[in-house]
Structure 1
Amino acid sequence: MKVYQVSELVAAINAQLSAFGEVWVRGELSGVKVASSGHRYFTLKDADGQLSCVMWASRADRLRFKLADGLSVLVRGVLEVYPQRGSLQLIVQEVVPEGIGELQLAFEQLKAKLEAEGLFAPERKRPMPELPQRIGLVTSPSGAAVRDVLKVLSRWPHLSVLLYPVRVQGKGAEGEIARAIRYLGKLGRLDVILVVRGGGSLEDLWAFNEEVVARAIAASPVPVISGVGHEIDFTIADFAADIRAATPTQAAELVVAQLERQARRLEDAWRHLLLAWQRTLTMRKNRLALLAGARGLALFPARVRQIRTVLQRAEVLPQLLRGLVLRRHRGYQLLVSRLYAWPVRFGAARRRQLLAGQEAMLRERLRALVSRRKLELAAKVRALQALSPTGILKRGYSITTVEGDPRPLRRAEDVQPGQRLKTQLSQGLVRSLVVGGEAGHQQALFSLGENEEVE
């Protein structure tokens, strides 16, 4: 019988195993570890046995899902004995999840990871801007999605749309989409960003399920609306976005609907403002009609014309002041030019002293003039207020009319016993009944009726 060295025996066993070829093994992952080199080490086991496995980083990095304990898989590889330990291991070349597709598993794993980080939390979602007018659009420039979005947005011609063209599927598409979102977010002049793509298979939509896209959406300083695929399609981008739309068209409809709501709100506010103004105008007209026939108002027109003349003069006061200031300023500039033209022998200190004195004198004269004009204007305004109907009533006068006749009474003989009168005071209205009068003294005696009220 031949006697083998250990290394010889291991080499002989490996030669036999190499002839055995590739094998497929079904089992459950356990003890998954990632080395600093990127290699994955794990155990594949079932109820009655276990097998050590290693998957080199060059192959493991191609997996779209994460190897995790408890995951049921099919593994393809070749068997060998590791010489340093003399243990049997499987060099893994491919791992396929059992019971769920590779892409779906990767989707669920990434979704759980980002959700645990709080990336999908409702409290970090931002609402639609009040008035979105500048729209960023991330999509393919040649697909149906861009045409659908622009068609809807064209209902508001004043909208500004900035398109960042990207590939929406295939290798490297996720990087382009993430760069587009980051670029538009940094511009600082957009109100909302639409990230859209038409329908397709899970593989077609996969760029929107990549972690780099989700993190770019979450980090965007501008609210993001995701509209990828159809109603039944959900992507990681949908969960990360501030607002999820079922389709690209619906994403654009959300923007337009917000604008229409704001337009209706402005229209309602304008209508309420107009009604309030009309009510106020009607009240003022009624009040003016009541006071139009008040006794003593006949003297007002001449006085009003006089006051109006004063006010017209006061209106030009700012122009006069500006003219005065301009003339003084020109004189000031002339004085400065003369001072600078003086010979050097007068000295810089002397010129500055003279200049400061002239400036102080000009400022004092200007303040005095403005103060006088303000006092004159205030006196005219007080005179006008004193002659207003409201001012007359506040000084104790009143306006009396016969009920049913808006003309004010001027003589006692204009009333008859039994007539009802209304007297407008500064605050309130008095209703009275005539019981007699003394025409010679232009006085009338009145008494309140039994059922009359004082308002």
Structure 2
Amino acid sequence: RGSLSLIVEELQPEGVGELQLAFEQLKAKLEAQGLFAAERKRALPVLPQRLGLVTSPSGAAVRDVLKVLSRWEHLAVLLAPVRVQGKGAEGEIARAVAYLGRSGLVDVVLVVRGGGSLEDLWAFNEEVVARAIAACPVPVISGVGHEVDFTIADFVADVRAATPTQAAEIVVAALEGQQRRVESARDGIAAAFQRKLEHARLRLRGLEGARGLARLPSRLRELEQKLQRLEALPGLLRAVVAARHRRADAAGSRLYHWPVRFGAPRRRELVAVRLAVAGERLRSLLARRTLELGARERALAALSPRNVLERGYSITAREGDPRPVKDAAALNAGERLITTLARGQLRSLVLGRSAGTQGSLFEEPGAGRRAPGTEPQARDGRGRTPEDGEESEA
């Protein structure tokens, strides 16, 4: 049995060990330079409309990504075809990212590749790719390999996805979330508008009862027609009573001149008395009906808005609001008013309010006020005072 001794002066890893060492060294370097810092990560756009896709045009990753993105038909996709492994692949990836970022054609960039070994994914661990992603002016989403795979591109990117499909899902989920928020806001606005419309409809129904002022002209015409019929009624009653009087007089005349054989003088006297009583009843009926008619005419005149307006009063309402204004304190400067008079209307503008008070509407000017030293004196039926003395009549 023999033995062997080695004196090692330098040890260099090879294969996977060499790549893993290079990965750790570059990761430490870039992390120290702040390329992995959370504060430099950019948020994805709220509503991306154009997407740049950096991947191989023939791999499975591009098909998976496009299948997911097809759910959002309004999203435009600009494909930058590159090699994703092999010599020179890192340069193509870096140039594609830089071009899409500078072009202004996209809102977000996806850098994706399917799964593979460390050697297969090595292009995404190169420093040139990492610095291109860090310098890109638009947000970058990386989706390289499978969930267990991590590349330098994942650490530098603004958002890291476990797979290419998940990278596409992040974009579509953001769009669908915005769509749900927009639809929710739309439904809320529609519901609020519907409530406001229903409130306005109820308010309009309530105002319909207060629109008597708008119907005032037609109501006045109706009252005038009724008044005309009532004014014609006394003449009709007088005509009816006169006709009955004439018939009664004619009947009495015939009875009075009947031959004696048809009745004794006593009977003629009885008929004359009855006729006189009937005439008195008719005259009493006419007087009573005349009084009733006068009372109705006065009641109708008291209810007529036209008579109120004819006495010098007016009705003032806001322009567009038929309800009468009852209190000056309810008005504001700048409001427009419409004043209805007995004949015509006036339009006015409120300039301000007065703090004065209004006197009684039922006092004559100067009523209740006498000059000092003057007292009311008794007067006779001819308007004379005791000091006036007697006057001679012509």
Shift of 1:234: 0.2
Shift of 1:387: 4.7
Q: For 1:13-55, what per-residue CA distance to the aligned partner results, in whole angstroms no more than 9, with x for missing partners? A: xxxxxxxxxxx9764xxxxxxxxxxxxxxxx4xxxxxxxxxxx
Q: Which consecutive residues of structure 1, in runs of 5 or more, have no partner in the other structure?
A: 1-23, 28-43, 45-72, 75-94, 303-382, 398-455
SS at match of 2:13: strand
Q: How does 1:218-237 map to 2 (within 5 A)?
A: 218-237=134-153
Closer/same/farther in 2, CA of residues 390 and 298 from structure 1, 3 Å limit: closer
SS at match of 1:297: coil
Q: Residue 168 of structure 1 contacts residue 177 of structure 1 at CA under 8 Å; is this kept in 2?
A: yes
State the distance in 1 between where 2:320 and 2:156 align.
Answer: 71
Closer/same/farther in 2, CA of residues 188 and 384 from structure 1, 3 Å limit: farther
- The equivalent of 2:13 in structure 1 is 96
Instruction: Note if 1:190 corresponds to 2:106.
Output: yes
Shift of 1:227: 0.3
Instruction: Note if 1:106 corresponds to 2:22.
Output: yes
State the distance in 1 between where 2:172 and 2:139 align.
Answer: 15
State the distance in 1 between where 2:129 and 2:7 align.
Answer: 34
Shift of 1:391: 7.2
Instruction: Note if 1:273 corresponds to 2:206.
Output: no
The one-letter code matched in structure 1 to 2:97 is: I
Shift of 1:296: 3.4
Q: Residue 228 of structure 1 contacts residue 235 of structure 1 at CA under 8 Å; is this kept in 2?
A: yes
Q: Residue 214 of structure 2 contacts residue 322 of structure 2 at CA under 8 Å; is this kept in 1?
A: no
SS at match of 1:274: helix
TM-score w.r.t. structure 1 length? 0.47
Q: Residue 167 of structure 1 contacts residue 177 of structure 1 at CA under 8 Å; is this kept in 2?
A: yes
Q: Residue 318 of structure 2 contacts residue 325 of structure 2 at CA under 8 Å; is this kept in 1?
A: no
The one-letter code matched in structure 2 to 1:205 is: L
- The equivalent of 1:293 in structure 2 is 209
Instruction: Note if 1:386 corresponds to 2:302.
Output: no
The one-letter code matched in structure 2 to 1:124 is: R
Shift of 1:236: 0.1
- The equivalent of 2:52 in structure 1 is 136
Shift of 1:124: 0.5
Q: Residue 112 of structure 2 contacts residue 164 of structure 2 at CA under 8 Å; is this kept in 1?
A: yes
Q: For 1:415-445, what per-residue CA distance to the aligned partner results, in whole angstroms no more than 9, with x for missing partners? A: xxxxxxxxxxxxxxxxxxxxxxxxxxxxxxx
Closer/same/farther in 2, CA of residues 26 and 196 from structure 1, 3 Å limit: farther
- The equivalent of 2:164 in structure 1 is 248
State the distance in 2 between where 1:197 and 1:285 align.
Answer: 61
State the distance in 2 between where 1:26 and 1:171 align.
Answer: 36
Q: For 1:44-92, what per-residue CA distance to the aligned partner results, in whole angstroms no more than 9, with x for missing partners? A: 4xxxxxxxxxxxxxxxxxxxxxxxxxxxx52xxxxxxxxxxxxxxxxxx
TM-score w.r.t. structure 2 length? 0.54
Closer/same/farther in 2, CA of residues 285 and 116 from structure 1, 3 Å limit: same
State the distance in 2 between where 1:384 and 1:158 align.
Answer: 55
Q: How does 1:312-351 map to 2 (within 5 A)?
A: none
Q: For 1:308-336, what per-residue CA distance to the aligned partner results, in whole angstroms no more than 9, with x for missing partners? A: xxxxxxxxxxxxxxxxxxxxxxxxxxxxx
Q: Residue 142 of structure 2 contacts residue 157 of structure 2 at CA under 8 Å; is this kept in 1?
A: yes
Q: Which consecutive residues of structure 2, in runs of 5 or more, have no partner in the other structure?
A: 219-315, 331-394
State the distance in 2 between where 1:287 and 1:129 align.
Answer: 45
Q: Residue 107 of structure 2 contacts residue 139 of structure 2 at CA under 8 Å; is this kept in 1?
A: yes
> Paired residue for 2:61, among 138, 142, 145?
145
State the distance in 1 between where 2:81 and 2:217 align.
Answer: 74
Q: Residue 225 of structure 1 contacts residue 243 of structure 1 at CA under 8 Å; is this kept in 2?
A: yes
Closer/same/farther in 2, CA of residues 295 and 102 from structure 1, 3 Å limit: closer
Q: Residue 116 of structure 2 contacts residue 145 of structure 2 at CA under 8 Å; is this kept in 1?
A: yes
Shift of 1:395: 5.0
SS at match of 2:112: strand
- The equivalent of 2:358 in structure 1 is none
Q: For 1:383-408, what per-residue CA distance to the aligned partner results, in whole angstroms no more than 9, with x for missing partners? A: 995352467466589xxxxxxxxxxx
Q: Residue 82 of structure 2 contacts residue 93 of structure 2 at CA under 8 Å; is this kept in 1?
A: yes
Which one has a bigger Cα radius of gyration?
2
> Paired residue for 1:166, among 82, 85, 100?
82
Closer/same/farther in 2, CA of residues 393 and 102 from structure 1, 3 Å limit: farther
Shift of 1:278: 1.2
> Paired residue for 1:116, among 32, 38, 49?
32
Closer/same/farther in 2, CA of residues 25 and 220 from structure 1, 3 Å limit: farther
Closer/same/farther in 2, CA of residues 272 and 387 from structure 1, 3 Å limit: closer
Shift of 1:96: 2.5
Instruction: Note if 1:177 corresponds to 2:110.
Output: no
- Higher RCO (CA < 8 A, seq sep 6+): 2
- The equivalent of 1:335 in structure 2 is none
Structure with a larger share of its residues in strand: 1
- The equivalent of 2:379 in structure 1 is none
State the distance in 2 between where 1:293 and 1:176 align.
Answer: 80
Closer/same/farther in 2, CA of residues 297 and 206 from structure 1, 3 Å limit: same
State the distance in 2 between where 1:25 and 1:242 align.
Answer: 49
SS at match of 1:96: coil
Q: What's the RMSD between the two structures over aligned residues? A: 2.6
Closer/same/farther in 2, CA of residues 112 and 395 from structure 1, 3 Å limit: same
State the distance in 2 between where 1:114 and 1:391 align.
Answer: 80
Q: For 1:181-201, what per-residue CA distance to the aligned partner results, in whole angstroms no more than 9, with x for missing partners? A: 000001112110000000000
Q: How does 1:422-433 map to 2 (within 5 A)?
A: none
Q: For 1:323-371, what per-residue CA distance to the aligned partner results, in whole angstroms no more than 9, with x for missing partners? A: xxxxxxxxxxxxxxxxxxxxxxxxxxxxxxxxxxxxxxxxxxxxxxxxx
Closer/same/farther in 2, CA of residues 294 and 124 from structure 1, 3 Å limit: same
The one-letter code matched in structure 2 to 1:386 is: E
Closer/same/farther in 2, CA of residues 286 and 179 from structure 1, 3 Å limit: same
Aligned residues: 229
Q: For 1:158-216, what per-residue CA distance to the aligned partner results, in whole angstroms no more than 9, with x for missing partners? A: 21110011000011100000000000001112110000000000000000000000000
Q: Residue 193 of structure 1 contacts residue 225 of structure 1 at CA under 8 Å; is this kept in 2?
A: yes
State the distance in 2 between where 1:393 and 1:131 align.
Answer: 56
